[in-house]
Amino acid sequence: MMMSILLFSLMDASVKWLGAFYPTAQIMFFRCAVALIPVAVIILMRGGPGILRTSHKGLHLLRSVMGIGAMAFAFYAFSLMPLAEAVSILHTAPLFMTALSVILLREKVGLRRWTAIIIGFVGMLIVVRPGADMLASGSLYMLTAAFLIGCTTIIIRHLGKIDDPVCITFYFTVTGVLVSSVGIFIQGWQQPPLADLFLLLLVGLFGGMAQYLMTLSYQHLAVGILAPLKYLTIVFGGSIAYLVWAEVPDLKSIFGIGIIVASGLYTLHRELIRGARIRA
């Protein structure tokens, strides 16, 4: 899980760097096309193409389209805003997921979790700083990505009960290749020099390997142990941003990021307590 988090952070930093020079669709294409290589290896290791059979093609399509939308908004936002702030906004996705589960799945959320969700959104507002420049700053795009991730997580929770995780990843990745190819036709292709081509390939390699390592980690340890580690992406991302771009979040952003992390961890804590009670 630690290696997965580091690779995702390196991918985010690479996307931010490349976003200053290349269209978002082109970066997405490399992210998905190269990631198909480790996904194909996993499929072969798990018994071959038979693992991809599913009777829920419509749900896979919905998850894939929403996931690709989240990727597009996030990748574009990375090129516009500080890395640590961008990653912290992405971590409001679990708050969206919990709130949406009440509407879509009719799950019961107690007063404590609602309080944590509201406080988390307050932290998000501190980081986002709503105003006329939300589009220019990239915060609205990243917030949209977090919302879409919250939606896709709910779908994945359902699909995960009936299909293999690699099946979900495969259809998402293939959809990403197709959608980004259309995007390249619209935005155009910019021929990269050898150094940038290597970095574009690394984006896909980092993303594919990180996804596989995260899936592997969940096979060995409980979600409650691993999920809090995801917040290290803020630490890793902030460290990389400082070393590469000399980015340092101001005090307001640090305060808001702290609130988001605290509320997310508390929401996870309450989810685990609720799950233990259900199993009991």
Q: Which pLDDT tens digit goes with each residue over 140-194?
A: 899 899 999 888 878 877 777 788 878 888 898 999 999 999 999 998 899 999 9
Mean pLDDT over 110-119 rounds to: 80
> What does pTM read for this prediction?
0.84
Residue 249: which H helix or E strand, with range?
Answer: none
Long-range contacts of 159-163 (CB under 8 A, 24+ apart): 159/56, 159/59, 159/60, 159/63, 162/54, 162/56, 163/54, 163/56, 163/60
Q: Which residue has the higher pLDDT, 217 or 201?
A: 201
What does the pLDDT look like over 50-84, one tens digit per residue? 888 888 888 889 989 999 999 999 999 998 888 88
Half-sphere exposure of 135 (CA within 13 A, CB side): 1
Q: How many CB atoms lie within 10 A of CB 69?
A: 18
Residue 26: which of 36, 35, 15, 42 has the closest Cα? Answer: 15
| Residue 276 confidence (pLDDT) | 54
Q: DSSP assignment, residue 100?
A: H
